[in-house]
Structure 1
């Protein structure tokens, strides 16, 4: 006997997410919202609603969806993406202190996800903390690049970055 342990909502969510490749986000949002009404406590559905709302520029709707997804609990990779989306949405809404706090907490939880550094740098820049923002981006660049010219000057770049903060 065959047993499929996938939750009932998974196949429909996968189909909706798969349809994104056609770029018709306005048509996907109602499908996601209908799925959410049938399965209101699924973090992955809330996360997809948040991302879709953010993509559509509906930041006021994205914000509670990100918060719901995080509160319900996501797998680590999706949680990191949700924190990034939440932080970016908060920045775009002008909630800079909260954006920075979310992104800093996410960096502590996911130190290998360097994209969080870059999004935190965007928030820091928006706060007028451009030196700290640039230092963060330069550190991320030095840590992740394989460019021979940059790696040759990595020590000098890090030294200059440290003086920016």
Structure 2
């Protein structure tokens, strides 16, 4: 099977997942993974479809493989880090979730979703202050709510030190 065929078959499997047929997508992705074990994009999409199906434990090795291999686009790498970190969290592997999501935030510091998932994992390891700090900064920097915008300086101030007074 050629790389051109791989790309076409991968696109078809992604389409199936997106259009609501993740079981069929999974079957195709598992076949692609067997044929192209060193293709980071195939490993990533295989992980993703397992997550969609609630098969988080089965998703982990595919996410890990996708991150170890060369070839992911920036968006795929971002998705793989977020997916792996979130999956670790769902599985109760909180330390690994924090480690993975910190790496994601380090690589993609402006990604509000990555920072939000990191905050959730930090909450799970009783790092409540850091979790709140991160979430407050996400809210302050991304909200278009006029009431949040009005109080943005105060929210940013308290994000730095929740015990501070103005």
TM-score w.r.t. structure 1 length? 0.90
- The answer on whether the counterparts of 1:42 and 1:72 sit within 8 Å (CA) in structure 2 is yes
| Superposition deviation, residue 136 in structure 1 | 0.7
Structure 2 unaligned segments of length 5 or more: list them. none
2:134 equivalent in structure 1: 136
Aligned residues: 160
Query: Could you tell me how far apart the structure 2 residues matched to 1:84 and 1:102 are?
Result: 8
Encode CA deviations 1:114-140: one digit per residue, 9 max, x unaligned. 211000011011112223212211101
Encode CA deviations 1:7-65: one digit per residue, 9 max, x unaligned. 33111111111122331212221111001111111111100110111111111110000
TM-score w.r.t. structure 2 length? 0.90
Does structure 1 residue 148 correspond to structure 2 residue 146? yes
Query: Could you tell me how far apart the structure 2 residues matched to 1:111 and 1:161 are?
Result: 16
- Runs of 4+ aligned residues of structure 1 deviating over 4 Å after TM superposition are none
- What is the RMSD of the two structures over their aligned residues, measured on CA atoms? 1.5
Does structure 1 residue 54 correspond to structure 2 residue 51? yes
Tell me which moved more, 126-135 or 137-146. 126-135
2:113 equivalent in structure 1: 115
Q: In structure 1, the residue corresponding to 2:109 is in which secondary structure?
A: coil
Does structure 1 residue 71 correspond to structure 2 residue 93? no
1:37 equivalent in structure 2: 34
Tell me which moved more, 62-71 or 155-164. 155-164
Structure 1 unaligned segments of length 5 or more: list them. 1-5
